[in-house]
Structure 1
């Protein structure tokens, strides 16, 4: 009996070994890991886990194209090349590198002079684009133009004397106020306006009402209206007071837009009028602007 059991056990051992090996192979194929399973570890990534980036401060010799090609480049692109060559030349300090930098500078100088030359031809071809047509440089002509502007400004301000007035806010302790008040009185005499002096020490509520904190403050007010505008904070000369009052009245009257604040008397629809050829602001209700080919001085 014992001999029979031993023989049966000997016959079963090879079968069990094959089944065990088969189960191990199936486990490997299914992704499971046995007790003695071994897998090579993955390779470690390089330090930082990222590819090395080029050094932006590395010394690189710029490539300078032929002048014929350089002439087709835009000014920003040329400027970038000049800066790169400058930095390179200042680093290596060789005669060749420094010479290349100055060759680029010479090219830029000649290009700028060529642009200036073509600009003069353009000004002669289109005089409406030339400031000299509206602002002569000759002394005698400038005197005549100045007198003409003063006359136009005086006529306009006198025509508005019954509609507007000047108010100067002052304090007894303000020494500058004693300097500004005679200038305001001169404006009153020459333009026929009413000018009033308000002492904020006696009437502080007026300072709060009109938002005045600095003295002297000179303000244009419109009669029977809430419209007002400060034209001077501190001491101003008579010509400046007259010019600022002229601009303020035109703006409050609707004769000009804020974009035309620097347009002086006699400059309407001319070279110095910002709106002479159409709108320049996206907020302008008249539109987005006129074509550049429109005749000069044309208002929509």
Structure 2
């Protein structure tokens, strides 16, 4: 009997520290100790699972932003195309009708804004009436021609061609007309005979018409392929103004006589980070809010 008690006592001595350690570990399980409890398994949901969109009342829908409305319309469209019920499809078209009426309302308010702030209206610089448009086009053409004639001693026109290029035979008379009317020096270069010119000027397509500034490395392609004469004049005008520093690249679409007007991209200040004036404070303190 005494031997049994001794054996039980020895077993308790061996077991007790292990049980105590296990209970101590269990007691220290939690966020206040060094070990966090295991997280419950997360339920994965199928993003493509079919779910009926919740369409709010009209008063609430009117306060939503266009991106939020567009997302709801897309959800309702996908839902209606899946279930193909009359009610679901009707709800989709009700949302479409709401978007249509909202766009119509925006257009109406825009019309009022254009009348109250004519500087925002293209009609102030681009009349729609036929007679006025003809007069405007004639004025722009005169401005371009006078400008190009005044630069005839500073720039030249080069057309690169090949002997096998049929389009070149169409373009060359157009370039020659430019020489006759603008007084520029015009040169025809056959890159089949002078392949080094093609490599030097980066010409791969013929015909290629290029403006070159005399005594300078400045040059600019104004036509690749056959170009009509009025377009050739317009592109030459824009290119010379750019190479001369009269305009910035952002103003390349600013036509003759449109400087500081509605169609001048820089009329009200810089619009790009590359413009040196962007850091000069031209727009500092300026407000885009309507002025009384």
TM-score if structure 1 supplies the norm length?
A: 0.84
Q: Which has the larger radius of gyration?
A: 1
Change beyond 3 A, Cα 1:208–1:95: closer
Asked if 1:203 corresponds to 2:198, the answer is no
Residue among 77, 80, 94 paired with 2:85 = 94
Change beyond 3 A, Cα 1:183–1:294: farther
Greater shift after overlay, 206-215 or 137-146? 206-215
Q: Distance in 2 between matches of 1:270 and 1:24?
A: 96
SS class of match (1:165): strand
Residue among 243, 247, 255 paired with 1:264 = 255
Asked if 1:16 corresponds to 2:6, the answer is yes
Q: Distance in 1 between matches of 2:193 and 2:76?
A: 70
Q: Distance in 2 between matches of 1:52 and 1:293?
A: 49
Q: Distance in 2 between matches of 1:143 and 1:81?
A: 48
Residue among 118, 125, 128 paired with 2:116 = 125
Q: Distance in 2 between matches of 1:28 and 1:154?
A: 101
Residue among 19, 26, 36 paired with 1:29 = 19
Q: Paired residues, what number?
A: 270
- Give, in angstroms, the shift of residue 240 of structure 1: 1.1
Q: Distance in 2 between matches of 1:138 and 1:21?
A: 110
- Give, in angstroms, the shift of residue 30 of structure 1: 5.0
Gaps of 5+ in 2: 23-37
Change beyond 3 A, Cα 1:25–1:201: closer
Asked if 1:116 corresponds to 2:144, the answer is no
Residue among 228, 238, 249 paired with 2:219 = 228
Change beyond 3 A, Cα 1:147–1:26: same
Gaps of 5+ in 1: 1-9, 33-44, 296-300
SS class of match (1:287): helix
Asked if 1:247 corresponds to 2:248, the answer is no
**Do the aligned residues in 2 keep the contact of 1:277 with 1:294 (CA within 8 Å)?**
no
TM-score if structure 2 supplies the norm length?
A: 0.86
Change beyond 3 A, Cα 1:294–1:186: farther
Q: Distance in 2 between matches of 1:22 and 1:202?
A: 107
SS class of match (2:199): helix
- Give, in angstroms, the shift of residue 15 of structure 1: 4.0
Greater shift after overlay, 86-95 or 208-217? 86-95
The two structures, once aligned, show a CA RMSD in angstroms of 2.2
**Do the aligned residues in 1 keep the contact of 2:271 with 2:278 (CA within 8 Å)?**
no
- Give, in angstroms, the shift of residue 94 of structure 1: 2.9
Q: Distance in 2 between matches of 1:51 and 1:202?
A: 74
Residue-by-residue CA offset, 1:97-121 (whole Å, 9 max, x unaligned): 2222222111111111000000000
